Amino acid sequence: MSSGAATNRTAHGVTVPPPSLLARAVPAFSGTTGLVVKLVLLGIANAIGLWAIVGLLGNENWIAALCVLAATLGIDAVYLLPVRGLVPAKFLVPATVFLIGFQLIPIVYNADVAFSNWSTGHNLTKEEAIQTIEETSLAQPANGAFYTMTPARDESGNLTLLLVEEGSGKAYAGNEEGLTPLPATDVTVANGAVTAAQGYDVLTGDELAGIDEQLARLVVPAGGNSFVRAEGLSTALELQPTLRYDPQTDTFTNIETGVVYSDNGKGAYADPQGQEIDQGWRTNIGFANFRDIFRNPLVRDPFLSTFVWTFTYALLSVVLTFFAGLFIAIALNYDGLRFQRLQRSILILPYAIPAFLSLLVWRGLLNDDFGVVNAILPVDVPWLFDPFWARVSCLLVNFWLGIPYMFLICTGALQSIPGEMVEAARVDGASGLQVFRKITLPLLLVAVTPLLIASFAFNFNNFNAIYFLTEGGPYGENQSVAGATDLLVSYTYKVAFQTGRGGDFGLAAALSILIFLIIGTISAVTFIRTKALESIA
């Protein structure tokens, strides 16, 4: 047998098992090999740090760049300096880096978003918003020119509009620098559109794919305060601005009415009556999002109704599944039961199947029109289309999904209860119910209470169970965002992506912080109240 093989050894008459794979791998990465591996990993870490520093400096994020530099130098010092006191840090640094990167930074970023007005229409910088307002305020005047347009590229590859003015038939080439008249001898016109032009490559077929956004951004100066912009792939219009920006006063003025729009301090330009221009910018608004949750009826009312249903849903899900799982665990814990393992295996099948697949299957089974459940029942029940029955459906499906988990933890807890205590109680004349109430249930709760609290928190934020089954619906006449079965987490998701003009990320971030505080408070109070169970153990 080779000397490198891992075999049992005998020392002083005692068989010593071979060292584990990890124990054998540690020496293999020591010495020169370990040094090389360490230097390679440090090189990768330094390269990532340098890349981050360059990017941060380019965006003028000086403080963040200094933090990354300090962290990179600190990591190098921990692993390169031969200081005995730094040995524990070598094990703590990787975990700390991942903790900061995947926990602390997202939390801080989410909190930063919660105090901003970041939403659809408020996702740019102020400078970008001003430029966008100037571009979107262009409108066709009463006597504006109309052009037949052909997309092309000049000799430098720049996108150019080859234009033929309706009426006069004059041909022009338009780019960001302006309109250039084209001699009739240099262009070929067919059906009122340029088909070829000297010095330009006309785009056809697949070359037109993906240039819609470029055409929309291309604004051609046409002299005075007029511009030309493409409308689709074959026409272009002469446009004139309806708003004029004054950088001295930081205001927009409506050219036709004279109304002045000024910075309202909330990330938008507004007139004296408070009417805002659609495009705004991202800015800090303090506690405005949190105030809206409690003061704005459009946010407060769906939030409160959703909170009541979320708490009810989470509580009933835990209570119903726990007692059902406990009942089944007690029934299958009987030693003389035949096919005990088979029955236990069947009961955990819902737990083995991915939950989202089960939810989609149940969505089909409960469908009003072709669902199997209504086909079996003597009456049609609007499982997913009536608010009451939709909530019942959510509870029943989650009950079906949650029983296997509760069955498993209750089975484990029951098997950990000393049989001597149960036997002693029975010898003393205790009935089966008394044994359960006085011994089994209290000892069981000592073991499973933390898991029940965790299950409550999980169901409080059980996004999949709602979204894949009912999508939060059905919706009432006065419910534009929150449906009858929406939990706070799905309501927050809809606020972030499906409300107002598209989404309100700032308000959604504020809601997520509030949800965290609610769950944290409920969990903390529950843990404190359940300390009385410790005396039982």
Question: What tens digit of pLDDT does each residue of 127-162 get?
Answer: 999 988 988 888 888 888 899 999 999 988 899 999
What whole-number distance in Å separates Cα of residue 289 and Cα of residue 114? 7
DSSP readout, 228-253? EEEETTTEEEEEEESEEEETTTTEEE
Q: What is the pLDDT of residues 400-437, one digit of tens each?
A: 999 999 999 998 888 888 888 878 888 878 887 888 88
For position 47, what pLDDT does the model report? 95
Identify the pLDDT of residue 4.
Answer: 46
| Separation of alpha carbons 295 and 304, rounded Å | 12
For 306, counting Cβ atoms within 10 Å of its Cβ (0-12 exposed, 13-18 middle, 19+ buried), the class is buried
> Between residues 527 and 400, which one has the greater pLDDT?
400
Q: pLDDT tens digits for 7-50?
A: 555 555 556 667 777 666 666 666 777 788 888 989 999 999 99
Encoded tokens for 352? 């083995």
CATH class of the domain comprising 138-241:
mainly beta
> Which one is predicted more confidently, 17 or 189?
189
Q: Among candidates 180, 199, 202, 179, which has minimal Cα distance to 190?
A: 202
Q: What is the pLDDT, as a whole number, of residue 1? A: 43
Nearest by Cα to 481 from 292, 331, 215, 334 = 292
Give me the residue spans of the domains in the chain: 28-114, 138-241, 297-535
Q: Which tokens hold the place of 426?
A: 């029975």
Task: Express each pLDDT in 90-123 by its tens digit.
Answer: 889 988 988 988 899 899 999 999 999 999 889 9
Q: Which fold has domain 297-535?
A: MetI-like fold (1.10.3720)
Predicted confidence at residue 531, as pLDDT, reads 66
Dihedral pair phi/psi, residue 91, rounded to 5°: -90, -25
The mean pLDDT of the chain is 87
344-353: list long-range contacts, CB under 8 Å, 24+ apart: 344/407, 344/411, 347/403, 347/404, 347/407, 348/404, 348/407, 348/408, 349/404, 350/400, 350/401, 350/403, 350/404, 351/401, 351/404, 351/405, 351/408
pLDDT tens digits for range 36-45: 888 898 999 9
Query: Rounded mean pLDDT of 323-344?
Result: 83
